[in-house]
Amino acid sequence: MQSEYFQYENESTWTDLGAGVQRKIMGFNADLMMVKVKFESGAIGVMHHHPHTQVSFIESGVFEATIGEQVTTLKSGDGYFVPPNVLHGVVCRQAGVLVDSFNPVREDFLG
């Protein structure tokens, strides 16, 4: 299981997740997945947890991020790390895009 080698921004489509959030898979194999997540201002990435390790990069925008009991504001160029099974979520304060990486692959994102 793996994606094509190259992903082109203008050739791939966003999946509408509702409530001002869209997702686009940028590449994956069984061990790793990278996903872009676009948020409208005020949209919420609800608090959740999963067995995957996650590292996220703020490509654009401003987000209030909660990981466990820690809360901070992150902007373009910042990032965060989420260990497996730790409760986390974001609130988008200024429209933007997160680039999320997961280990292993998020099979639930593949349909």
Q: What is the pTM of this model?
A: 0.95
pLDDT at 10: 93
Any domain includes 1:
no
Q: How many domains does the chain fold into? A: 1
Q: What is the CATH number of the domain that holds 19?
A: 2.60.120.10
Any domain includes 85:
yes
Any domain includes 46:
yes
pLDDT in tens, 92-107: 999 999 999 999 999 9
pLDDT in tens, 32-89: 999 999 999 999 999 999 999 999 999 999 999 999 999 999 999 999 999 999 999 9
Any domain includes 33:
yes
Any domain includes 4:
no
What is the mean pLDDT of the segment spanning 3-25? 96
Any domain includes 103:
yes
Dist CA 48 CA 26 (whole Å):
22
| pLDDT of 111 higher than 90 | no
Domain residue limits at 74 = 15-109
| pLDDT of 28 higher than 90 | yes
Q: What six digits make up the tokens of 76? A: 């373009």
Dist CA 37 CA 16 (whole Å):
10
Angle (CA) 57 58 60, round 5°? 145
Any domain includes 10:
no
Any domain includes 39:
yes
| pLDDT of 15 higher than 90 | yes
Dist CA 15 CA 68 (whole Å):
28
Helix (H, G, I), strand (E, B) or coil at 29: strand
